[in-house]
Structure 1
Amino acid sequence: MTSTNPQFSESLFSYGTLQLEQVQIATFGRKLDGQPDEMPNFSLTMLKIDDPAVVATSGKTHHPVVTWTGNPYDRVSGTVFAISPEELAHADSYEVAAYRRDRVTLVSGVSAWVYVDANSPPRD
C-alpha cells in the first residue's frame, strides 16, 4: 500500500488492537484508512498486557502478538495503514516492551512495519 500523500510515507500492518477505532483515535488522533492484507511466515498467540494505560485504551487485558515461524503456510490476517513518521512514533509509544517493531513484506508485496513478539527469533 502506498499513499499518494507524502505525509503518510510509512506503512504499518496491524493484526490486533491498532485496528480498533478507539485505539486509533487515542494513538493517532484520527481514524485510519486501511486495506486488508496478510503477513506470511508468522503465527499468532495472545499476550497478557500489564500496562494500565494500554489496557484502558484498548479495553483488553490480552492482545494478539505474532512470532516468526518461517513456515510459508503460516499467515496472519490484518490491515495495512498508510501513516506519517510522527504517527509511527506514536505507535511505538503505544506498544509495550513485549513487542518490537520489524519490517515485513506482506502477501500483497507491500513492505510494512509490524509489531512482533520481542522474543521472536530473527528472520533469515
Structure 2
Amino acid sequence: MIFCEEEMEISFLEKIAKKMSDKNIELVLVDEKTMHEINFNQRGIDKTTDVLSFPLVQNCENLLGSIVINLDEVSKKAIEYKHSNEEEISLLFIHAMLHLQGYDHEIDQGQMRQKEQEWIEYFKLPKSLIVRVQGE
C-alpha cells in the first residue's frame, strides 16, 4: 500500500509497488521549490531533482521507506520525452523503489539499470524510457 499526501490518482503506482515489494511505501509529491529544499537539507545538494528515496533507517516491519517525486519535473520530462505524466511518474517510482531495495546505479556494475529495464518492460512502459535510462 502507498501512503500519499496529495489527492491524485495513484492506482497505477499501487500496482507497481505491490509487484516490487510486499512492504508499504510513503509517497510524497512536491513542487520544484520544495524538492530543492529537501535535496539541500537531506543531501547538501543545492539544486532540485526529479526523485529522491529515503530507505527506512530503523527496522519497521511493514514500511520500506519514502519516495519524494517532483511533479514540476514530471511535467517537463513528460513533454520532453513525449509520454504521459503517469508514465514519467512510473519510471521515477520504479527507480526510487530499486534504491529503497538497496540498488545504487552510482556504484554498481549496471545491475540497477538492468532491473529498471526489466520492470519497465514488465509494466509495458514506452521503450523510449529504457533508452533514456540507459543514457543517464
TM-score (norm 1): 0.30
Higher strand share: 1
Higher helix share: 2
More relative contact order, 1 or 2 (CA 8 Å, 6+ apart): 1
